[in-house]
Amino acid sequence: MAVAMMQTPLQLRLQPRPPAVVAARHRRRLQSGFPPPNPRRGGGWCRCCANADAGKAQAQARRAYPYDEIEPRWQRHWEEHRTFRTPDIGHGLDTSKPKCYILDMFPYPSGAGLHVGHPLGYTATDILSRFKRMQGFNVLHPMGWDAFGLPAEQYAIETGTHPKITTERNINRFRSQLKSLGFSYDWDREISTTEPTYYKWTQWIFLQLLKRGLAYQAEVPVNWCPALGTVLANEEVIDGVSERGGHPVIRKPMRQWMLRITSYADRLLEDLDELDWPESIKEMQRNWIGRSEGAELEFSAVDKEGHDLGANLLVYTTRPDTIFGATYVVLAPEHSLLSSLISEEQRVHVEEYIELTARKSELERTDLQKEKTGVFSGSYAKNPATGEIVPIWVADYVLGSYGTGAIMAVPAHDSCDHEFALKYKLPIIKVVSPLNGNCDSEEAYADDGIMINSSSSSSGLNIDGMLSKDAALKVTEWVEANGFGKKKVNYKLRDWLFARQRYWGEPFPVIYRDDTNEMLPLQENQLPLTLPELDDFTPTGTGEPPLTKATDWVKTVEPLSGKPARRETSTMPQWAGSCWYYLRFMDPQNASMLVDKAKESYWGPVDIYVGGAEHSVLHLLYARFWHKVLYDIGVVSTKEPFKCLINQGLILGEVEYTAYRDNKGRWVSADSNSSLIDCYQEKVPADKVTKVGDHYVLKDDANIRLNARAYKMSKSRGNVINPDDVVSEYGADSLRLYEMFMGPLRDSKTWSTGGIEGVHRFLGRTWRLVVGTPLPDGSYGVGTTVTDEEPTLDQLRVLHKCIARVTEEIQETRFNTAISAMMEFVNAAYKWDTQPKSVIESFILLLSPFAPHMAEELWFRLGNSRSLAHEQFPEGKSEYLKESKLVLPVQINGKTRGTILVDKECSEDDAFQIAASDEKLSKYLTGKGIRKRIYVPGRILNVIPR
């Protein structure tokens, strides 16, 4: 047992101060503008504070221009003048102008605030919004908050703070951060899904769904998380535990509200073709909907002696042609008939298996990579085509929610069935032969072909020798004629489970009569049904929602009869408010209807929608479904909500370098032939790393190769970059510009502090190009370096080439190359003797969507009195885009010796004079007579000396 040694006062004094103490001291110094005195050192400053001062001085030295003065000033100007407010129809909006509705997927305001990955999409939409305004469009560019949901409730439970308070605090933080980045949102249209004035209309939409039979209640198996006290969506469950908190999740039946999204499956599929969306997202939705054509076939259940058990099993198959190859039947563990088919010998085994399956999500169960598991039920089924008895198995790769919850297993022609049959030694019978006769005997053959081993004299069905598709039609006709089944179209898409057993969500606008349990919808004039205030919103532990604790709110009366009734205590899922928010932005203050028809007709649909690909089959599919319902009832005038969809990539944290050491502490190269399993990993600082070829190695030992990888930003990895820190050190315009310059918008990119320093220097060069060099005290004069001279032809060509490129690249969302074009312009402008005002003004307008604060400041310094936000975006003129010069090869005695730059209309004499004065070519011509010159304009000059 170690004994703590006493420390002397001197040793204690020399101990480093705790980081919290140092941080507090630094904050005080920064707030006051000078360091606090240190009495222990005669009124001087402590070393740590002196270091802070030095760091501050270095940061000021790195500052390329006075962004810390410019940016707050113009943010205040935009807010005070409501520069980006979009007027309403009838209140100043000129509807003769074209419109452009540009929208971000609105954020969930968490307590952590933004990290630098969030502004990537927001900056892109802001550039497009500013660009379109300057092109003369009416632009709708709003922002709001998707603020109901489980994360806020969990945080409230953990901290004992009401979710309303934390949500409001988080929204304020997000709003402040977004404003600090200079985004041109119309803040007059701000909405939050938690406001009763908003969710009144979410409840109204639910009532419309209810009226049309699209909302109903059913007993369904759900993902129940006892610790969180709520139902979770399949996507919120990973490896049997909740995505949030890692709590165990089980499957259990519960009565839940459902939305009949399957009624719109065909329309959701068909209308995808009309959308300007990434093909990958459209394909994901097609696969999620999963339309398939096949047949339902009836297998009668029997015992092992073949005696009828009085139950018929409906199986769904997309390959009825393979019925002769069905060697067993599989039921989902949740199949309604399973309990009556389990033999006594197998009951314990089957019930254990059902319990294990209840802990898995549907995503886990259908993972093609996982090992197949199952258990024999003890019963059998009769194949209607062959009359043979086949075993009935229970396996979790079959879902009760898809098809009939039962399949006929054809292991020779389905990979899942094949894997299962091999594991449990079940028969495999080939009934389809490839057209070319070539087939891997060890694998399942899943394609079409020619039918073999597919006839039965007892049933009278013979499809031998037929093509698969023809055989499928014949089998379907045969089962329909003999009463064994029917043709069937099926979908993987399942009805939307629309209830959550939690507090922080929209209340359902329904009541239940106490005497009959009859469900009654509220009248529309009774909306909104507001969420009651609850001090205790923790899970009940019984499966009952937290709202059951609001007894005075739950107890009510039926309006017409006055009889006692109770309210629904489940709440809507977070997806509800985000299904239609884009419509409310069009008309956010309307108290009498969801959205005014004239406003919706003008602004709809959303022209450009930017957000993450992770929402492809949830939010995007749900919003399309609700939009189509609203279209059917005449609320909206378009079939689809989002015309063009853009998915931005991720911004990953800075590259992390990992090295290995063996158990003796010696470095081991990452490409070592020896095993790295017994080695421990060690993170290496970037300044200890260098790159050799395509690999990273230790600076001190190039033989030690490192692993280099960037990870998604997360608090757990400690690699989150706070945009507030970046704005403080480099300015908002630098952050905006860097995020666009990192690479194509749709690609994932790795954050690099060195990269942002580069674009910061570019903005500094731009500033000095217009304003001039700083004064001795570091400040800048009030004037500019521009002149009123007429621009030269060369200057106009450089400008209009830049205009044409930037315009095209913005329109194609290639923002990184647009920035490159502006960098090229600045490089060229530094070589000019003068900077004509007309040229510089046009360039500042090009820059303004990307770096709006600097652009506004420079625009003002050039003598303009109003914001440039609505100035006309420059247009490239074709007469300046034509190349006036060309590169002309020069030959001496027929051998090419160099090239010269000449005007397109250059004469032979002028071309010769340019060649004769060229440093490289003159040595072949000086002092020599010319016997002959051969000149082909625009092609070649050949000089033959004497």
Residue type, 378: G
- Structural domain contains residue 795: yes
739 in Cβ contact with 759 (< 8 Å): no
Counting beta carbons within 10 angstroms of the beta carbon of residue 794, is it exposed (0 to 12), middle (13 to 18) or buried (19 or more)?
Answer: middle
- 340 and 314: one domain? yes
The H or E element that residue 630 is part of is helix 619-632
Quote the CA–CA distance of 575 and 912 in Å, as a whole number. 74
- 639 and 658: one domain? no
- Structural domain contains residue 40: no
- 922 and 856: one domain? no
* Residues near 924 by beta carbon (within 8 Å), at least 6 away in sequence: 892, 897, 943, 945
When divided into structural domains, the chain yields a total of 5
Backbone torsions φ then ψ of 931, nearest 5 degrees = -80, -35
* Residues near 651 by beta carbon (within 8 Å), at least 6 away in sequence: 116, 117, 120, 713, 739, 742, 748, 749, 750, 751
Rg (CA), the chain: 36
- The parts of the chain modelled with pLDDT lower than 70 are 1-62, 233-235, 361, 363, 368, 439-440
Residue 601's alpha-carbon distances to 215, 604, 605, in angstroms, are 27, 6, 8
- Answer with the one of 835, 862, 880 that is the final residue of a domain: 880
Q: Give the side-chain half-sphere CA count within 13 A for 284.
A: 14
Quote the CA–CA distance of 858 and 843 in Å, as a whole number. 11
Inter-helix orientation angle 732-741/852-861, to 10°: 120
Identify any residues that bridge with 106 across adjacent strands, giving them in sequence order. Answer: none
Residue 841's alpha-carbon distances to 686, 770, 874, 893, in angstroms, are 42, 10, 10, 50
- Structure confidence at residue 62 (pLDDT): 57
Identify any residues that bridge with 642 across adjacent strands, giving them in sequence order. Answer: 606
Quote the CA–CA distance of 135 and 131 in Å, as a whole number. 6
- 445 and 325: one domain? yes
Please count the other Cβ atoms lying within 10 Å of the Cβ belonging to residue 716. 7
- Structural domain contains residue 113: yes
- Structural domain contains residue 929: yes
Quote the CA–CA distance of 848 and 852 in Å, as a whole number. 4
- 638 and 671: one domain? no
Give the DSSP per-residue string, 741-769: HSS-TTS-EE--HHHHHHHHHHHHHHHHH
703 is written with which tokens? 């033989």
65 in Cβ contact with 763 (< 8 Å): yes
- Structural domain contains residue 704: yes
Range of the domain at 304: 291-491
- 426 and 480: one domain? yes
Backbone torsions φ then ψ of 826, nearest 5 degrees = -60, -40
Dihedral sign computed on CA atoms, order 12, 14, 19, 21: positive
User: Given the structure tokens 């949830």, which residue do they identify?
Assistant: 618
Quote the CA–CA distance of 620 and 642 in Å, as a whole number. 9
- 874 and 894: one domain? no
- 814 and 706: one domain? no
CATH number of the domain bearing residue 599: 3.40.50.620
229 is written with which tokens? 């006290």
- Structural domain contains residue 168: yes
- Answer with the one of 619, 647, 675 that is the final residue of a domain: 647
Task: Give the DSSP letter of residue 411.
Answer: T
Q: Give the side-chain half-sphere CA count within 13 A for 535.
A: 0
- Structural domain contains residue 130: yes
State how far Cα 234 lies from the chain centre. 18
Quote the CA–CA distance of 236 and 250 in Å, as a whole number. 13
CATH number of the domain bearing residue 922: 3.10.20.590
Backbone torsions φ then ψ of 485, nearest 5 degrees = 165, -165
- Structural domain contains residue 62: no
* Residues near 533 by beta carbon (within 8 Å), at least 6 away in sequence: 162
Quote the CA–CA distance of 937 and 833 in Å, as a whole number. 32
Quote the CA–CA distance of 707 and 659 in Å, as a whole number. 7
- Answer with the one of 720, 742, 766 that is the final residue of a domain: 720
HEC letters along 153-173: HHHHHHHCCCHHHHHHHHHHH
Which strands make up the sheet holding 564-567, listed edge to edge? 519-521, 510-513, 564-567, 555-557
Please count the other Cβ atoms lying within 10 Å of the Cβ belonging to residue 555. 12
332 in Cβ contact with 405 (< 8 Å): yes
577 in Cβ contact with 193 (< 8 Å): yes
501 in Cβ contact with 229 (< 8 Å): yes
- 93 and 138: one domain? yes
Task: Give the DSSP letter of residue 248.
Answer: B
Identify any residues that bridge with 896 across adjacent strands, giving them in sequence order. Answer: 891
- 777 and 815: one domain? yes
Identify any residues that bridge with 393 across adjacent strands, giving them in sequence order. Answer: 330, 376
110 is written with which tokens? 């968490």
Quote the CA–CA distance of 915 and 925 in Å, as a whole number. 9
Residue 735's alpha-carbon distances to 312, 712, 742, in angstroms, are 66, 19, 11
**Cα maximum dimension of the chain:** 119
User: Given the structure tokens 């922002």, which residue do they identify?
Assistant: 143
- 853 and 902: one domain? no
Give the DSSP per-residue string, 462-522: B-TT-BHHHHHHHHHHHHHHTTSEEEEEE-S---EE--BSSSSSPBPSEEEETTT--EEEP
HEC letters along 309-327: EEEEEEEEECCHHHHHHCC
From 707, 691, 708, 690, select the one nearest 699 (Cα to Cα). 690
732 in Cβ contact with 741 (< 8 Å): no
- 772 and 832: one domain? yes
